[in-house]
Amino acid sequence: MPLKPSAQRVQDLLAARGLALTVVEMPDSTRTSAEAAAACGCTVAQIGKSMVFRAAQSGRPVLAVASGVNRVDEKKLAAALGEPLGRADPDFVRASTGYAIGGVAPIGHTVAPTVYLDADLMALERIWCAAGTPNAVFELTPADLLAITGGTVLDLRKD
């Protein structure tokens, strides 16, 4: 069965980067970290959840890919960015990423975001990320995630 267009876009981007990674559309939702972990058969910590923020002064998109068990410390993120963060509403997320909330992939954004990757993800052997729709995912290594996003690894966990 063919992938939905947004999921196919992610699959094509992965292939164009020479990665033999496969986008899978699950029968059930993978919108939340818990749903994704249940569908993928992994721990919630292995879910790389994409969270989009809007830089308060410049208005640029900021992507934080965090372990599914962690809350993102917005103060740490803002300090690394060098400006305060604002909330990104669903319209901003769609316009800047090309994806709906719950399916934001870490790659292929309409507007290239500043990307930060949760240091806790880097300690894992395998992780799963959204692939363009609320039920599409792909499995990869932390090194793959770093390579495809060009992100900065940062301690994002809110204590």
Q: What is the pLDDT along the chain (159 residues), one digit of tens a residue?
A: 799 999 999 999 999 999 999 999 999 899 999 999 999 999 999 999 999 999 999 999 999 999 999 999 999 999 999 999 988 999 999 999 999 999 999 999 999 999 999 999 999 999 999 999 999 999 999 999 999 999 999 999 998
**Two structure tokens written together for 5:** 């267009």
Identify the pLDDT of residue 1. 75
Give the C-alpha separation, 24 to 26, whole Å.
6
Per-residue pLDDT at 139 = 98
The residues with which 84 forms a beta bridge, in sequence order, are none
Cα distances (angstroms) measured from residue 19 to each of 15, 26, 64, 96, 98? 5, 21, 22, 24, 22
Tokens 């996003």: give the residue.
149
Pick the CATH number of 5-154 from 3.20.20.70, 3.60.21.10, 3.40.1380.10, 3.90.960.10: 3.90.960.10
Residue type present at position 4: K
